[in-house]
Every structure is written in structure tokens, then in C-alpha cells.
Chain A
């Protein structure tokens, strides 16, 4: 009370102010109550349940704007076909199917593979790139340090795009390496690669895969000039394949992973070692990713744009 007298404030004014605030508070509460009733949005409780079964990385690999948007679409369509999370585990997919009340479809686990072996040794640099460290930019500017117009540029747009920390650039080969443990096959890296070097393929039985590790669509002689490990489109692999899984289009072989039975006949047949077989037991010839040496290539010209 002493304080109040000291500040020379009428006590009645204080009470008045408190009362007015209290009245405003009560009024606002009543108004908000009725507004909340009037504009109440009925949301399917399944959406929240499904969101809990999704990774929550909001990577966009499914093609929707984040995990919640995917869940909304799943509920609205009542199916997981065309709107499923490519990175989700089998158990979680089964849970989602349970929530939606449908049968869980058979999903094959996918993984990103790098279809390029244009390492510093296989494809020595002819010019040196000295500009913004972005594949999208380099791709607009020139064909690449090694001259291959379809190969990896090594600036790591895929690394930046990956939400799971699954891709890194090997400092010696300057090619991306996919961490098989971390990669969920969401495909965001493939979308961000300006040259389509990265492909999303089935992880394969026991993680074993056979694929053409080249993306060059030039004629064989031209491709060979730029890279030792380039697919030259000779078609030997397609002839030797007993399952008709290999097609050669615009000088580039492609192995259809739905047809490939992992017999590895093509691997032995390829004259350029452009076909890779990974995670096969050691005794049989299983070429590991390209041999690595230090970059000691001649530099003629520096590429950059001022």
C-alpha cells in the first residue's frame, strides 16, 4: 500500500483496469469458443497415425510436399499405389497398410547407383574447372573436365540434395559413393543430378546388383577417347545375356533390373569393364569400384566464367 501511495495511484483505477481486462478475456474466450465450433475442420485421425509411420525427413522423394502431404494423399486415395514412401521400411509400410485397411503391396527396396566410372585415372581431366561448385552450373557451362558430356561432374549436387547423408564424394576418384546402409532409395539425388548419372535400382537379393556403370551416349570411338571405362555400345553384353535383360540404345547398354538374374555373364564379356557387379562373394571376379590414383593430369585451360 505504501508503494501505491508513493506512486500516487488511485486504487480504484487499478481495480477498474483489472476488471476491464478480465471482461475482455472472458468475452474473447466465448467468441473463440463459438468460432472454433463453427469452423471446426474434421480431419481424418488416420493422417496423424500414418505420419508417425513415415521417416519424417520431408525429402520429397515420393513426389509430394513432405511426409504429411503424402499421408493426406494416402488417406484421400485409400491406396499406397503411386503415393508411397520409397524410403520406408517394410514394417512401417505394413503398419500404414493396416491403418488404411488394405493389403501391403510387395515393395522392393531400392538404392541409388552411380552410373559413371569417370575417375581421375579412367578419364583424365583435359581442362580444369574453377567456378561455382555446382553441377547444375557446370553442366550449363561446358561438357566436363574430362570431356564426357554425360558423365559425373563431381561437384556434388547429389551430396547436397541427400537428406540422409548417404552420398559423399570420394576425394581421389571425385565420384560419388553411396552408403548402402544409409541410402533409402528416395531418388532425390537422381532428380538433382543434371545429367541423370544416378539411377534408382532394386537393391537386389543379398544386396547384389549388376549394372552398367556408364551414362555416355556418344559413339564408341568418341566415348573411348574421353574415358577408359566408357560403355562403347558394342552390344556384346546384350548378345550374351540369357534373359534378354540388356538393351543397347544410343550407344549405351542398359540392364533391366526386373529381368536380370545376376548370372554375371555380361560382366565377363564387357571389353571395357563398364559393367559392375557389386557385393558378390570375393573368389569370383568382382571388380571393385574403379582403381584409384592421385590426380596428376595435365591442365591446359582453366574453366570459369567471370
Chain B
């Protein structure tokens, strides 16, 4: 149902991932995941090694944070992130590159899986694994099933339906073997009978690479998918692969599925086989105005200044907007003096012309947004209700099911800010629903 076909612009598809030089200073935010910020457990002057725990998960939905470089903690402070808001962070000044002794940093591939189900989930939690597709939801929570729940399908999301971003593609080509081992680990953790890797068919090289690596693994299949946005969204991917529909307000596990991004699967491999926490991120730096050979894929340490990453490519003169994480769902960067965090899969330079919004005109009732909505909602209506503060109607018309993919706004011929208002409405309606259930607990 629904969906759109934005220009793919996968300019950096064929650029091999390069190691980004180590930063002299790393700023590590405590808010690199969904949920409560981590609690800093180091103080000014402490010596840390790469991979050492510096931020402890603070609550059920939260994740551990590890030091991305070795050196001395120079500050524990609030530092602005890309939104310009200050977030708690730890600043580390680099001295050499000394890793924790229990982390295997060799490039060797370890294929023998020694850990059992519970140990794997504990390891995910300990190593701070979060969903690296963008939402940064702590991964171990997905695997903590209730006794009555059973996972039948483990779905690996390599669709990469967002334009420009090429990290999953490079991951599949360069680390196919590790990814397949990662899938085997996730299969043990989830108890699923089979795993399906969904990948859009504009990535033939990656598909072939994964299929070759998956040979001899009877439980794992690689499933090419037709190109469509937002196919990489959890519910849409489940529907495309299994034909099942996740009910409103339910999680994928209610239809027996667990979905993980390919990069997350790689992180799981690293954590379980090599005891490696997430201290690095894969990032595509791209844009139409950047010469095609200059668009690059980097493997960089968390806490690296994003300005340094952009300067390595060179910010084009006509840049009007810089987006972190995909042109459809990513966020515009309001504050350039910020630092890389988990899940930042791209920095995109949009030209002045591309970044301007068109003039808004009245809604034509053409219904394009309705046919584009992958959740079967009526976006033009939700927009109007939200603008008029009619949140009861927002709820009635299913605003809470919106996945904020932006297809409605992309397709609108009147350039109406549909998604913006749906987001406002969703936030306010959600707050009202929570207040209501707090007032009348069942």
C-alpha cells in the first residue's frame, strides 16, 4: 500500500569505506539512543581506553555508552548537538589509541558461535547495541520476548530505501561474511526458524555478495525487493516479506517478527564474537553538488566533529542545507559545531535550490497523499485537524499510526507542510492519550 519513488541518487554506492582519521578530541553524547540518557560514570581527569564503559544505561529503555578513543576525560558537561540543544556529554582528549584488553581488534573473522541465547542478549545490552537504521532503539529489548511470544521470522533490513545513503550497500559488499554470522547469532537470540534479508533490487552487487555468503546457511535467505520508499520501515518490510500486517499500535513481535538493520546485525556480530561495543559508525557523505568521486563512505569514531567529516569531502559553495540521516526522514543540522553519534548514517549537502520549500497553496483534495501513505491514513485531514487543535479527531483518524516517512509531503502538489503538522499533532495527541491513561488506570 502507498509508497513513492524518490530519485535514488546513490552517488556513493561504489566508494569503498575508508577509515576516518582519529579525532584529537571526542565529544560523546549520553543521548545516542531512544529513551533515557545514559549516566556518566567517569569524571574529569579519568584515563579511559577505547571501549571502556563511560555512560551507564539509566532505565529500561536506555543503552550503555563506551569511550570511542583513549585518553583523558577533560570535561563532563552539556554540549549542543545538531539541533542546537545542549545534551549531557563527556569530552575525551586523545592520547594514542589504546583499546580495552578484552576486545578483539584483529580483522580475523570469527565464525564459531560460543554463546547461548541469554548470554547473547546480555552481551547486546552490555555493549550498547542500538538500532543503527536511524531510530537507535536499544536492540536487546526487541529480543526480550514474553513467554507467550514466539519469533518465527528474523528479518534483516538491508532495503536502504532512503536516497543517497550507501552504508548498508557497502556493508553487504565488504562485510557479507560477518553479516551472515551476525544473522546466525540473531537467530539464536530470537529463537526464529528462518531469517530473511530484504534488499532492494537496485543493489545487485550487494545482493550477490550476501547470497554468496549465505550459501551453506539453510536458515538464511536473501530476498530481493522491488524499489519503493518507505520499504525499509519496519511494518512495511514485514508486509513485503511475509505478507503479514502488524496491527495498529502493536510491535512486530505480535506477528512473530523481529526486524534489525544490516548495520545493527554487523554490530551484533562485533559485540558477540569480538566483544566490541559500538564506538564507530558508518557514514555516507554525499550531495548532488559534490563531485561524484568525492562522495565518500567513512568508518569513523563516535564523537568525531561532524565539521571535520564534512571538510574531508568539502562543503560545496551552493549548500543551503545539511541533513543528517537521509533526505526523507533525516534531520536538518541546525548547529554545525556538533559531534557524530550512533546511527548517524549520512551527511547530505542539499543545494540552496533543493532546500527551499515551494510556495504553499491551498489543498486541492487531489488525494495524492492518501494514495502515497504507506499506513493507509488520510494525511491532508490529519494536517487540518492538527492545525485546528482538534486532537480528538486526530486520534480517531489514526494519527498515532503515522510512521513519519514524509511520503505525503513529498507527493503534495501544493507543497503543503503536511508531515510537519502531523508530527505536531502526533506529539500532542500522544501526550493527551498518556495523560488520559494515567488518569484512568485500568
Contact = CB atoms under 8 A, between A and B. Distances in A.
A181 B350 CA distance: 47
Contacts of B390: none
A302 B351 CA distance: 10
B335 interface: yes
A130 B329 CA distance: 16
Interface stretch (B104-112, B193-201, B393-401, B417-425): B417-425
Contact of B84 (A132, A134, A144): A144
B321 A302 contact: yes
Contact of A131 (B83, B84, B327, B420): B420
Nearest to B350: A302
Chain B CB within 10 Å — which of A141, A218, A301 has the most? A301
B333 interface: yes
Given A301-B320, A306-B327, A306-B409, A140 B335 contact: no
A152 to B, nearest CB: 15
B84 A305 contact: no
B420 A303 contact: no
Nearest to B427: A140
B215 interface: no
A297 interface: no
B355 interface: yes
B355 A134 contact: no
Contacts of A127: 334-335
B328 interface: yes
A301 B427 CA distance: 26
Interface in B347-386: 352, 355-357
Contacts of A136: 424, 427-428
Nearest to B331: A305
B84 A143 contact: yes
A69 interface: no
A302 B320 CA distance: 6
Contacts of B419: 305-306
Contacts of B327: 306
A302 B336 CA distance: 12
Interface SS, B side: mixed
B424 A132 contact: yes
A304 B86 CA distance: 20
B83 A304 contact: no
A214 to B, nearest CB: 17
13 contacts: A130-B357, A132-B421, A137-B423, A141-B332, A142-B332, A147-B335, A149-B85, A304-B332, A304-B355, A306-B328, A306-B409, A306-B410, A306-B419
B322 A149 contact: no
Interface of A: 127, 130-132, 134, 136-137, 140-144, 147, 149, 218, 300-306
Contacts of B255: none
B424 A130 contact: no
Given A134-B420, A301-B320, A143 B335 contact: yes
B421 A301 contact: no
Contacts of B330: 306
A144 to B, nearest CB: 7
B331 A141 contact: yes
B182 interface: no
B128 interface: no
Interface of B: 80, 83-86, 319-323, 327-336, 352, 355-357, 406, 409-410, 417, 419-421, 423-424, 427-428
A137 B334 contact: no
Contacts of A306: 323, 327-330, 406, 409-410, 419
Contact of B321 (A140, A142, A143, A304): A304
Chain B CB within 10 Å — which of A132, A134, A141, A143 has the most? A132
Nearest to A222: B86
Chain A CB within 10 Å — which of B85, B327, B420 has the most? B420
Chain A CB within 10 Å — which of B330, B331, B332, B419 has the most? B332
Given A140-B427, A303-B321, A149 B86 contact: yes
Contact of A142 (B85, B86, B336): B85
A138 B10 CA distance: 30
A143 B329 CA distance: 19
What are the 7 tightest A-B residue pairs by CB atom distance, in nearest-first order? A143-B84, A132-B420, A142-B334, A132-B417, A302-B321, A142-B83, A302-B355
A304 B357 contact: yes
A303 B334 contact: yes
B34 to A, nearest CB: 15
Chain A CB within 10 Å — which of B329, B336, B355 has the most? B355
Nearest to B420: A132
A264 B185 CA distance: 70
A142 B83 CA distance: 4
Contacts of B406: 306
A131 B334 CA distance: 13
Chain B CB within 10 Å — which of A127, A143, A302 has the most? A302
Given A131-B357, A305-B331, 15 more contacts: A130-B356, A132-B420, A134-B421, A137-B420, A140-B424, A142-B334, A143-B80, A143-B84, A143-B335, A218-B86, A300-B336, A302-B356, A304-B355, A305-B419, A306-B419
Contacts of B333: 301
Contact of B336 (A134, A140, A301): A301
A204 to B, nearest CB: 32
Chain A CB within 10 Å — which of B330, B333, B417 has the most? B417
Contacts of B409: 306
Contacts of A142: 83-85, 332, 334-335
Nearest to B423: A137
A53 to B, nearest CB: 28
Contacts of B85: 142-143, 149
A254 B333 CA distance: 33
Contacts of A140: 423-424, 427
Chain A CB within 10 Å — which of B319, B327, B419, B424 has the most? B424
Given A302-B320, A304-B321, A304-B357, A137 B83 contact: no
Contacts of B86: 149, 218
